[in-house]
Chains A and B, each alone.
Chain A
Amino acid sequence: MDLFNLTANQLLTMISSGQISAADVLSSVRVRQQAVGQKTNAFIRTYDETGNGAAFPVPIGIKDNICVKGREVTCASKILKGFRPPYDAAVVEKIKASGGIVLGSLNMDEFAFGSSTESSSYGIVRNPWDLGCVPGGSSGGSAAAVAAGEAVWAIGSDTGGSIRQPASFCGVVGLKPTYGRVSRYGLIAFGSSLDQIGPITKDTTDCARLLGILAGFDHRDSTSVDLPVPDYTKSLDRHVRGLRVGIPKEYFIDGIQPSVLAAVQAAIDFYKKEGALICEISLPHTEYAVATYYIVATAEASSNLARFDGVEYGLRAVPSRPRKAGIVDMYEETRAKGFGNEAKRRIMLGTYVLSAGYYDAYYLRAQKARTLIKNDLDKAFLDCDVILSPTAPTTAFRIGEKTNDPLSMYLSDIFTIPANLAGIPAISLPCGFDEKNLPIGLQLMAAPFAEERLLAAAFAYEQAHGWHVQRAKL
């Protein structure tokens, strides 16, 4: 049996019954990683951690924008080359405390700017289901690693869909928690008001388990919320009778891939058949979500990335010929060499929308639109418990297909962005395959801190279908 193909929950049962040892799991995953790592390019670097003696040290991959003490962290960017943080991110502390083993750092779009993991300075990541396709992004390495069995669990971050969209493309489960549910301390910020760290796993049971490890108040993150963390695994329930499932009409637009639409329609039918109440809802400001997101997120990013200037850490480029004042030359040269094109594009965009004379027209207006989008969702959750939609309009696209068309790339996050703008939790889970045998993702959203409801609804669907047991053939 290939242990790397199993979930943590299955492995734990086998370890408890004495069938296998924890060491067997670790070695299976490591061997698998060595075998397929070159194909997927999911990991940027791997470590030889051996664990702290916990009964089941779950092998976990960490996205390369989360600090692990003493380990290089680069956000897949050249500008952070060689930077080793002197501290663990809050989630890494929690993972280590739970006995988890940090396998290594997972590839991603540079600074999480992207939806395809093609902008990494460590090479593109390939989708385990079709190596010619992207794994989605920006947590493409995280989703691909779990899908390929290179890690039992992976940690991703989600600013506009960066956990859910790659989970959808790679046929795994990904959850973006409520803003404030998981500490961001140690997550290298992209859009501070949007970023959340979350789990990427093979099924909802593992997702519930990992979320329970990651969640919780942290005094070091002022945006973290002091609410008790429930045992999420207890919320898993096959019954959806009476569950009010909202179908937002604005999400079912032209341009959705027909097989995606069909799979999502079948999911709606399933919930209806099981006794859920299906209600059509309206989220009237949805059309402004992408524009709003790209103003808010880039504005924050332009400021968050200002610290990468070559002074304290990371790359410092020294210009061969001085042009201006010494320090300005160093800044310009370092940032010109250190950042990739998409990072530069977003820094410029964000700088522009915050500039004197443009602030009111862009940033301020985007903040107002953000409030309207949040109000839409708050209102919708008076009438429904979960909101159901595709995670992405399409399945995984071909590598290179959208690299020269940033706008079309941005639109692949159209259904995931509203949850970040509103700060609500959302999950993506497998809901079938398209004609090319590429996974399709189903997204469920819920009200703030209703992760249990989300997991319960997802679990019911998952258990009735079994898409989650399908594995990519590598």
Chain B
Amino acid sequence: MGGMYKEQNFNFSENMDFETVIGLEVHLQLNTATKIFCGCRNVFGVEANTCVCPVCLGLPGSLPVLNRDVLFSGIKVGLALNCSINTFVKFDRKNYYYPDLPKGYQISQYDFPIAKAGFLPVMTGGQEKRIGITRAHLEEDAGKLIHDDAINATLVDYNRTGTPLVEIVSEPDMRSADEAYDYLTTLKLALQYLNVSDCDMEKGSLRCDANVSIRSRGETKLGTKTELKNMNSFSAVKRAIDFEVARQTRLVIAGESIVQQTLLWNEEKGITIPMRSKEQAHDYRYFPEPDLVPFTLTEAEIDKVRCGLPELPYARLHRLIEKLGVSEYDGTIIVQDKTFADFFESALALGVDVKKLCNWMNGPLMKELNDRKCRLGDLKLTPGMLVELINKVEDGTVSNLAGKEILAEVVATGRKIEDIIKEKGLTQVSDEALIGKIVDEIILKNPQVVEQVRSGKANAAGFLVGQAMKQMQGKANPKIINEFIQRRITNV
């Protein structure tokens, strides 16, 4: 949306302390059951040109019909980003030629985006910053070009044509690549909570372009921007911005001017490369789409969407901290994944210590997920099972170490905790007679260490506990061993 970003070249010479200015454009594929203007299934990864019809193929004579679900998803996104919703729903044609665009124009929203003038609170650099949202508008995605070297030709897959998109345009409010990264992760999280998209950059369901410029610190006007495209991960966005800021800074220091242009990020080389100027000289000739009649949404319709909005991560974090006694550190981790946070709250409701639950979820459970590269929803573990396990550790039935082993087993197989404990013999030994006998043996074998304990060397007792544990193949209750050691040594 070039027109919304007024910039100019100014005299940098007096001040060599630069500030980076970044605005981001995020394209999000919506996960509605069908496409935006036809009844074709909206799916990814199926055989080429199997989810197509005369409408999304742009065949002569076909006409678009707006999918209402897309509209409501757009409103959801707008409300979640604290935008005002345009009740006047209107679409426009954006005209340009490209083989993946079968009608020769893209149906989009120009002067009446579904949402405008909002903001997203982002935790960045240890504090909260509001990033302005200029607008969010609905449009159709284009097809996909496939270059086939074997037959030296370009093929087109039209399955993606007509996939609903919402384009979220931020204000140029970010001041570093890290802020841009934090904005993107926060935005993605909010969108995942809304369940409007799978937000998968690898599948292309989330795409991001960055507008980058620099200016002297203290300057209020915007410098000449460049637009960065072709980044396929958030970290690539970060690297591309860092590269571009460095490039622009070098140019300015060398006394050269920055040319407004579109640059493509080359992941392998780690550099940005200008697009050919020919491809940039677009006059999209926007005009109202005559095939879709504009209409007006009622406030009641918008309120209905508002009432159906889920609690967003930002609000959830505050509630976890204020109402449930979760620490900010733990809460921040927990809300990073909606399923994870839902799991946490379900478990907490079953009756378990909140700190212990946080430790188990953000510790051993998170490790299991990371090791297996999976998400909580993929596992057979239920909140009830985790609570059962934590409570078994707490009441001493199994040791902490055995607890982790059991968790790994449950995650892998989904078997009953009781069965695993029985089968692996993981029940913690609390038999005082047995433990007493072993502790006595250890004390006799290690007189020097006992002496050290007596003289107040705390670590020395740990060694004795370890020896006793080893003797009992780790099954003894370490609390009881410790008690015996302390008692025996002070009594002797």
Contact = CB atoms under 8 A, between A and B. Distances in A.
A303 B58 contact: no
B102 A307 contact: yes
Given A185-B63, A222-B63, A354-B95, A307 B103 contact: yes
B63 A221 contact: yes
A219 B95 CA distance: 26
Contacts of A331: 97
20 contacts: A85-B59, A87-B59, A87-B62, A188-B60, A189-B291, A192-B291, A193-B290, A221-B63, A222-B291, A223-B291, A303-B93, A303-B95, A305-B104, A306-B95, A306-B103, A312-B102, A354-B285, A356-B283, A359-B287, A363-B287
B105 A306 contact: yes
B297 interface: no
A345 B173 CA distance: 46
Given A312-B58, A312-B59, A359-B287, 8 more contacts: A67-B60, A184-B63, A221-B63, A221-B291, A222-B292, A307-B60, A351-B285, A359-B285
Q: Which 7 A-B pairs have the closest CB atoms?
A: A306-B104, A354-B285, A192-B290, A193-B290, A188-B60, A186-B61, A67-B61
B54 interface: yes
Interface in B283-322: 283, 285-287, 290-293
Contact of B61 (A187, A305, A312, A355): A187
A185 B291 contact: no
A94 to B, nearest CB: 15
A299 to B, nearest CB: 6
A239 to B, nearest CB: 37
A80 B287 contact: no
B285 to A, nearest CB: 4
A167 interface: no
B411 to A, nearest CB: 49
B69 to A, nearest CB: 16
Interface in B181-233: none
A89 interface: yes
Interface string A177-195: 0000000111111011100
B58 A309 contact: no
Contacts of B93: 303
Interface in B22-79: 54, 57-66
B156 to A, nearest CB: 7
Interface in B72-106: 93, 95, 97, 99, 102-105
Given A86-B54, A306-B103, A309-B104, A220 B65 contact: yes
B414 to A, nearest CB: 47
A288 interface: no
Interface residues of A, number: 45
A158 interface: no
A73 interface: yes
Interface of A: 66-67, 73, 75, 80, 83, 85-87, 89, 184-189, 191-193, 219-223, 299-300, 302-303, 305-309, 311-313, 325, 327, 331, 351, 354-356, 359, 363
Nearest to A335: B97
Nearest to A184: B63
Contacts of B60: 67, 73, 75, 80, 83, 85, 188-189, 307-308
Given A67-B61, A186-B61, A187-B61, A303 B99 contact: no
B21 to A, nearest CB: 25
Interface centre among B62, B64, B65, B103 (most CB of A within 10 A): B62
Contacts of A192: 290-291
Contacts of A363: 287
B287 A354 contact: yes
Contacts of A300: 287, 290
Contacts, number: 101
Interface in B386-425: none
Nearest to A296: B290
Contact of B97 (A67, A75, A309): A309
B287 A66 contact: no
A185 B62 contact: yes
Given A73-B60, A220-B63, A307 B104 contact: yes
Nearest to A83: B60
A303 B287 CA distance: 9
A93 to B, nearest CB: 12
Contact of A222 (B156, B285, B293): B293
Given A222-B66, A223-B291, A307-B102, A189 B61 contact: yes
B102 to A, nearest CB: 6
Contacts of A312: 57-59, 102, 156
B287 A85 contact: no
Given A89-B61, A300-B290, A311 B99 contact: yes
Nearest to B66: A222
Contacts of B63: 184-185, 220-222
B130 to A, nearest CB: 33
Contact of A311 (B59, B156, B293): B156
A33 B283 CA distance: 48
A56 B42 CA distance: 44
B33 to A, nearest CB: 17
A220 B62 CA distance: 8
Nearest to B93: A303
Contacts of A80: 60
Contacts of A191: 290
Nearest to B282: A356
Nearest to B55: A220
A138 to B, nearest CB: 16
A27 to B, nearest CB: 31
Contact of B104 (A193, A303, A313, A325): A303
B145 to A, nearest CB: 10
B227 to A, nearest CB: 18
Contacts of B95: 302-303, 306, 354
A422 to B, nearest CB: 15
Contacts of B102: 307, 311-312
Contacts of A354: 95, 285-287
Contacts of A355: 283, 285
A67 B60 CA distance: 8
Contacts of B97: 306, 309, 331
B105 A222 contact: no
A312 B59 CA distance: 9
B251 to A, nearest CB: 28
A219 B65 contact: yes
A313 B97 CA distance: 15
B421 to A, nearest CB: 61
A67 B57 CA distance: 15
Contacts of A83: 60
B65 A222 contact: yes
Contacts of B59: 85-87, 312-313
A423 B83 CA distance: 36
Contacts of B293: 222-223
A307 B61 contact: no
A299 B64 CA distance: 19
Interface centre among B60, B66, B97 (most CB of A within 10 A): B60
B291 A303 contact: no
A191 B290 CA distance: 9
B288 to A, nearest CB: 8
Contacts of B54: 85-87
Contacts of A305: 104
A66 B60 CA distance: 9
Contacts of A359: 285, 287
Nearest to A75: B60
Contacts of A309: 97, 99, 104
